[in-house]
Homo-oligomer: A and B are copies of this chain.
């Protein structure tokens, strides 16, 4: 089996976790007490949430974010006038649509579940199988994606945008010096810049900043379990995920528990490599308690069920219902406060001019 280096390493780490072998980080109690120990271990694995998720290819400017925020809500550039970014990522539902699989223009079902776009722009790629390189790439390709906006071409999107006079000045401000700023590429950059600001700091971050009282006793128990059971082997970094692909179903086929139909073979559809069969991007766990249903196909409704399945198929562990509850309650500490500026509906330009 051909496996890229980081993935081999991850599998070894998971196996160690499954076998109860302590790896890397010392677990011995220190003089500072169990809270400090837990905090230090967690800091080493996760790290603090940054203020935004910049990209050298798409610097964040206030003008770009403003335009991107407006375009995020714009349905008139979809083939049936019903699809905007906000359709599959409603901000009041933590930027998920609550459906098993996303529904696009003319009620077409998308192949997978809508992931949240909060705290999501720093992942290795976009989409569950990494078939989009970045949030900008995702935004652009969505415009012509048959089950999303469904437009026939980028030119057709540009024509609609150029037909609404109100957009011209905003694109000019966001992309100064460009002769024709109203383009699909700039749509993608503006929406991407907006997405790069969608951060939701949570109680967990207060804990990471050293306030041991930010988490309840049960949440700390859940966090310790999350780390000791091996979940953190893949769900690491400030987003608790998003940094690698991983096989879903290491010890048993996932569909045995999720009852998924059809069985999705994941990333191999992108790479055409048999070794990528059943690989999916490890999802970000920020706000996971608010983003039901779970998994790439939205096949599981309850968070505790999702945790139980993950423990079973990824770590060969049977967690007790108390343990599942502890981990789920820990995960609720990842539910962030959505900043007010994210929860603002922008007023869109008029279609017609008197």
Contacts and interface: CB of A to CB of B under 8 A. Distances in A.
Nearest to A304: B354
Contacts of A81: 97-99
A290 B345 contact: no
A335 to B, nearest CB: 8
A228 B96 CA distance: 52
Copies of this chain held together in the complex? 2
Contact of A73 (B90, B303, B331): B90
A351 B90 CA distance: 14
Q: Range of interface residues on chain A?
A: 35 or more
Contact of A344 (B94, B290, B344): B344
A244 interface: no
Interface string A45-74: 000000000000000000000000010010
A347 B354 contact: no
A346 B289 contact: no
SS class of chain A's interface: helix, strand, loop or mixed?
loop
Interface in A315-354: 325, 328-329, 331-332, 338, 340, 343-348, 350-352, 354
29 contacts: A73-B90, A75-B93, A75-B97, A80-B103, A81-B97, A81-B98, A82-B97, A82-B99, A82-B103, A91-B345, A92-B346, A92-B347, A92-B348, A94-B347, A106-B107, A289-B354, A292-B351, A292-B352, A303-B354, A329-B354, A332-B354, A338-B347, A340-B344, A343-B344, A343-B345, A343-B346, A343-B347, A344-B344, A345-B345
List of 5 A-B pairs having minimum Cβ-Cβ separation, nearest first:
A328-B354, A107-B107, A343-B345, A92-B345, A292-B351
Interface of A: 70, 73, 75-76, 80-82, 90-94, 97-99, 103, 106-107, 289-290, 292, 301-304, 325, 328-329, 331-332, 338, 340, 343-348, 350-352, 354
